[in-house]
Homo-oligomer: A and B are copies of this chain.
Amino acid sequence: MRATFMYGAGDVRVEHAPDPVLREPTDAIVRILRSCVCGSDLHPYHNLPASEQGTPMGHEFLGVIEDLGPQVSGLKRGDLVVAPFAYSDNTCALCREGLHTSCPNGGFWASGDVGGGQAEAIRVPQAAGTLVKLPVGEDSELLPSLLTLADVYGTGYHAAKQAQVSPRTTVAVIGDGAVGLLAVLSARQLGAERIILMGRHDDRTKLGIDFGATDVVPERGAEGIEKVRELTRGQGVHAVLEAVGYMNAYETAVGIVRPGGVISRVGVPQYEDAPVGFGSLFGPNITLTGGPAPVRAYIEDLLPGVLDGTVEPGRVFDRTVTLDEVPDGYRAMDGRTALKVLIQP
């Protein structure tokens, strides 16, 4: 099969690789119908040290089950399924608490001996716990929206859920990437009536308005903080959904959150230490929450709205490439000429 590998910053190649095979009785093999490039793939695209050994890429996919180990229950060959960006057994204490990303039998795609999703096929460990059957055909127009259940929609939803967004919550979303825009959509779904989107790419913030944003703040830093405070009569917002991961986004979050409010992070932090003392979080009783979204926990909740067309999270895809064109897809996302790139192998 063909699969995507990264050999260093900016060096993405699509190559022939061995077809995946069943290794454990709990595995499945999935032929990939749709995959995509994630904003978080841009971190290694900027930073990965050059190596002769390529790193497999991609952690979002949906496809068709081609083969199953003998211990995989509830699924069969030919099922069209979506996979969350982390695999998990869905039966342990942590999965039952909705913390699938911390499952002791779980892990992440494209790490260890597990391949990536930007490929023609993949071995899925813990298939019964991981894969969710989708009641659509291979030609469904819903495939892009269904693919967002693998990561970006569930991640935006996690940000909003962890912040306990409700109709009484004033929300600000930092970041107009796919996760930020779907955090807007999620906050609206949870009833928020005032949603301020901080982003400065017109085409993206327009989609954010379609998804439910009531205000757009293109300014950044101190100017952006001042603008959000103006919009909230000086008080700040109850919930900040931080979908970027850089320290300046954290500082903005601290600057715009209301006393007693919540900063909910889903952008992977590109820092380890940050201010949390009396002068930042403690004094005004700010809660800091978030992390890698246990999207597996949300798929059943979010699926009906996608199937009945209530929401169209797939609108974040604004470009489609073949597998061979994946390097162009990375370039387009890195250069911000594409918001999110869909891959049709």
Contacts and interface: CB of A to CB of B under 8 A. Distances in A.
A272 B279 CA distance: 7
A275 B278 contact: no
Nearest to A267: B282
A320 interface: no
A49 interface: no
Contacts of A337: none
A189 to B, nearest CB: 21
Contact of A274 (B102, B235, B260, B276): B276
Nearest to A291: B285
B99 A162 contact: no
A166 interface: no
A99 B274 contact: no
A203 interface: no
Interface string A181-217: 0000000000000000000000000000000000000
B281 A273 contact: no
Nearest to A158: B285
A56 to B, nearest CB: 20
A268 interface: yes
Interface stretch (A90-98, A118-126, A221-229): A90-98
Chain A interface size range: 35 or more
Contacts of A290: 282, 285
- 6 shortest A-B CB distances, which residue pairs? A285-B291, A102-B259, A272-B277, A287-B289, A99-B260, A269-B277
B268 A282 contact: yes
Interface string A277-318: 111111111111111101000000000000000000000000
Given A94-B259, A259-B94, A259-B99, A276 B269 contact: yes
Interface of A: 93-94, 97-99, 101-102, 162, 235, 259-260, 265, 268-269, 271-292, 294
B276 A285 contact: no
B272 A98 contact: no
Given A102-B260, A274-B276, A269 B282 contact: yes
Given A99-B260, A102-B259, A260-B97, A283 B276 contact: no
A94 B257 CA distance: 13
Nearest to A284: B102
Contacts of A273: 273-277
A139 to B, nearest CB: 37
A132 B292 CA distance: 44
A271 B276 CA distance: 8
Nearest to A99: B260
28 contacts: A99-B260, A101-B259, A101-B285, A102-B259, A102-B285, A162-B285, A162-B287, A268-B278, A269-B276, A269-B278, A272-B275, A272-B279, A273-B273, A273-B274, A273-B275, A273-B276, A276-B288, A282-B290, A282-B292, A283-B291, A284-B291, A285-B289, A285-B292, A285-B294, A286-B291, A287-B289, A288-B288, A289-B289
